[in-house]
Structure 1
Amino acid sequence: MKAAGEVKAATGAAQAEPGSARRWAIDLRPLRVPAYRRLWTGNSVAMFGFQFTAVAVPVEMYALTRDSFWVGLIGVAAFLPLLVFGLWGGVVADRRDRRQVLLVGSLLLWLATLGLLVQALLGARSPALLLALVAVQSTAFAIASPARSAMLPRLVPLDLVPAASTLNYTTNTAATVAGPMIAGLIFGVWGTGTGLPIAYAADALLLTALVWAARGLPALPPEPDPDGTPRRRGLASVVDGFRYLFTTRVLMLSFAIDLIAMILAMPRALFPEIAEERFGGGAAVGWLFSAIAFGALLGGLTSGWIGRIRRQGLALVGAVVGWGVAVALAGLAGHLWLAVGLLAVAGAADLVSAVLRQSMLLVHAPDRMRGRLQGVNTVVVAGGPRLGDLRAGTMAAGLGSGVAWVGGGLAAVVLAVLLAVGFPALVRYRTGPVAGSRQP
């Protein structure tokens, strides 16, 4: 199989450890694998385009309703499809060719983005239609994401999974730095009337790169179970995935601490209101949306040390605590530059926690379970911030945006510490032998 040959070639190239001058630089060795390089390229370009929509949708919603509660409802519209189709997408990724699953999901995502463009061009001015199109986008993401993540250990050697995960996260965050800043500039120059169609059109154009990447990947059919046991279908297969997760305490706790961080401390739904009322509007919203990603980008570019962490559980808890503290302090900032700087610190902490969680999941789980666990991961990682949007918008409507922002960050810190103390298995976790996986 083509992918296996590429992995073996990269394994040989990966034996040489980077010199001491590169100990802190990002590890680029996974890019030697052609299939991974293609996926990385297509996903990075598409992620850059998606940031235009990520800013445009809340900006459009706030322009239509003048209410952060409606902006928070975008999180609900995105989360419900993730909850259903993320789990189903994980099952499909374990039973079907993961390349084909990624291709179908990417095409559906492209069609949903075209729908956003059309409604903006027609001036539909319908919050309900906007929520519906967000739900379709979320459905497409939920189908494609488990397959895209689960195929990673089939494309690169297992010892390069942390490096490949860091590359994915760093380039994605690089896109989320440039994308929102450019989107903010578009809205600052042209306003929402002209800026919205431009943003949606850019996303639709750049999303074609992911379709191109998926078409050119090698076939990735499911590997047979070692004992030859046939895989169950439908709901029973989902239950099998949850049963494995619940009996693997470290993985379950890693999901729990991520939910704490994202639901309680994600301030994203407050950005349009804070940008307008505290920082004068205009391009400020783009800076706020870019800040977290900018910090993650800087963290990723100096991430060579992450792959050498052995006490990954303790480092994960520390990163989540750092995220909550930085978010809370950013909510107190009276100057845009200070808020952006503190959000960047939060983003660097988030990069560390995201890479550690993903590496623990991909290396610890056997290939036959990776799709289903990535389905759960999709619900948690993508759904958590959307629930955080709802939490922030609801709190802002009742208590004010400042309380919603600062209080959420502090609550995340307290609960993360309590989780670590109450369930020490996560803190004690160290990197160890791979469970049920074969090294190419």
Structure 2
Amino acid sequence: MNITISKNPGWKKRMVLFLLSQNISLFGSSVVGFAIIWHITLTTSSGTWLMLSTLCSMLPQVLVSLFGGVWADRYSRKHLIMLADGFIALATLGLAVVFLLGFERLELLLMVAAVRSIGAGIQTPAVGAIYPQLVPQEHLTKVQGINQTLNSVLMLLAPAVGGLILGSVGIVAAFFVDVVTATLAILVMNRIKVEKIHRQEASDSVWADLKSGLDYAYGHPQLRRIIICYLFSFFLITPAAVLSPLMVERTFGNEVWRLTANEMVWTVGSFFGGVFVSLKGQFKDKVRTVSLCLVAFGVMFGLLGAAWNFLSFLTFMGIAGFFLPPMATAQTVHIQEITKPEVLGRVFSIVQIISASAMPVAILLFGPLADIVSVESILIVSGILLALVGILYGRGRKDEANQ
């Protein structure tokens, strides 16, 4: 199998349309995601319910992601992305109708979160693998930085919109926002021309393709190190990612604006991080970049647990957000550069599985634990361990350079 990497002068137009499509879709999904989490938090104030929500949002991805990676290497990545968006939109529309009919149960939110997760399991490997088909390799970092900046802008708006809708109109309106944005994303994506994947000696068996992708990823020293890093880092990022709304509600107050501010300051930090990546253009030592960002995450998450008031909490959350775009961009481009194009979908599906499974496993521990001990103590301990993971990952970069 061979993929023609984009060198066409028209790549900029295609990239603009692709970024537009993906960020429209992200905005709608984020509005619904925030609305669901906050609705559950404000309704139950329970770490166990947050655990269930996280499991439903993550585990289905684990079940379908490997196959999603195979499909991304066998079929049109463009069509897979559009299909997943449509599937998610239909599930959200169905939930909106059921809620309008008066069946407003938390269990239904969990069911739809699982369905949306299945769509993400199909879409995410295709999105990660399609970039080299659209963008020349020398521009991958800059494009990823621009995408991170756009993500941050929309994620800054999404919690504000989600909080406004949830507090004034209700959660059903958030569902309709997602349906409309998914439809727009599909229409924009349909206008993009993507180079076809030219298959040579492609296997007729999905299982054979699956096995070859696994063998490639785990037999590649650099990819294996990245996978291990993802496993531990996502496990330890979980408390800050999932339990911070619970800490805000318990420690500082249960007003919706506080939950909104919690998400917005993270996104403000991510926005400036994305701008930094866009201006920098390249990271010569991507392993070192990821290592430093993980250490910074660990320090900031530990300080979240030690925050003495809501303002200090927001300050540490905002600083932590800055390091997300450099880390995500460096790691993603590193994978795209060291992986053969014909197995890129499967490699990204493996990375997605690691990240999607590490968090549910972590929340099985941290969710119930948050109902026994303080979220603050969980954040401090997990932050220290995360900084250690960053240090250990960085120490391996010399070995990687010699390979």
TM-score by length of 1: 0.84
Out of 86-95 and 163-172, give the one that drifted further: 163-172
Q: Counterpart of 2:218 in structure 1: which amino acid?
A: F
How many Å separate the matches in 2 of 1:362 and 1:252? 14
Q: CA deviation at 1:132?
A: 1.2
Q: CA deviation at 1:358?
A: 0.4
Partner of 1:259: 231
Q: Counterpart of 1:34 in structure 2: which amino acid?
A: K
Partner of 1:397: 371
5 Å matches for 1:91-102?
91-102=70-81
Q: CA deviation at 1:398?
A: 2.8
SS in 1 for 2:170: helix
5 Å matches for 1:9-408?
9=9, 33-187=12-166, 189-190=167-168, 194-224=169-199, 228-231=200-203, 233-266=205-238, 267-282=240-255, 283-304=257-278, 306-408=280-382
Cα 1:115–1:333 shift into 2, 3 Å: farther
Q: CA deviation at 1:297?
A: 1.0
Q: Counterpart of 1:8 in structure 2: which amino acid?
A: N
Assess if the C-alpha contact under 8 Å between 1:7 and 1:33 holds in 2: no
SS in 2 for 1:216: coil
Cα 1:429–1:312 shift into 2, 3 Å: farther
Assess if the C-alpha contact under 8 Å between 2:6 and 2:132 holds in 1: no
How many Å separate the matches in 2 of 1:43 and 1:302? 21
Assess if the C-alpha contact under 8 Å between 2:72 and 2:346 holds in 1: yes
Q: Counterpart of 2:8 in structure 1: which amino acid?
A: K
Assess if the C-alpha contact under 8 Å between 1:87 and 1:375 holds in 2: yes
Assess if the C-alpha contact under 8 Å between 2:291 and 2:394 holds in 1: yes
Q: CA deviation at 1:231?
A: 2.9
* RMSD (Å), alpha carbons: 2.5
How many Å separate the matches in 2 of 1:387 and 1:347? 23
TM-score by length of 2: 0.91
Cα 1:431–1:285 shift into 2, 3 Å: farther
How many Å separate the matches in 2 of 1:430 and 1:355? 19
How many Å separate the matches in 2 of 1:326 and 1:254? 22
Partner of 1:25: none
How many Å separate the matches in 2 of 1:389 and 1:5? 39
How many Å separate the matches in 2 of 1:409 and 1:311? 24
Assess if the C-alpha contact under 8 Å between 1:313 and 1:428 holds in 2: no
Q: CA deviation at 1:178?
A: 1.5
Assess if the C-alpha contact under 8 Å between 2:287 and 2:394 holds in 1: no
How many Å separate the matches in 2 of 1:363 and 1:220? 19
How many Å separate the matches in 2 of 1:319 and 1:154? 28
Partner of 1:27: none
Q: Counterpart of 2:385 in structure 1: which amino acid?
A: A
How many Å separate the matches in 1 of 2:360 and 2:96? 22
How many Å separate the matches in 2 of 1:380 and 1:322? 22
Q: Counterpart of 1:212 in structure 2: which amino acid?
A: L
Report Cα offsets for 1:143-195 as digits up to 9, x if no partner.
112112211111111111111222222212222121112322344x42xxx32
Q: Counterpart of 2:203 in structure 1: which amino acid?
A: R
* Structure 1, unaligned runs of 5 or more: 11-31, 433-440
Cα 1:252–1:116 shift into 2, 3 Å: farther
Q: CA deviation at 1:372?
A: 0.7
How many Å separate the matches in 2 of 1:430 and 1:163? 23
Cα 1:100–1:431 shift into 2, 3 Å: farther
How many pairs does the alignment contain?
399
Q: CA deviation at 1:298?
A: 0.7
Q: Counterpart of 2:33 in structure 1: which amino acid?
A: A
Q: Counterpart of 2:207 in structure 1: which amino acid?
A: L
Report Cα offsets for 1:276-335 as digits up to 9, x if no partner.
222222211111123322211111112246543222112211111111111111222132
Cα 1:310–1:196 shift into 2, 3 Å: same
How many Å separate the matches in 2 of 1:392 and 1:185? 29
Q: CA deviation at 1:382?
A: 4.5
How many Å separate the matches in 2 of 1:76 and 1:238? 24
Q: CA deviation at 1:271?
A: 3.2
Cα 1:428–1:319 shift into 2, 3 Å: farther
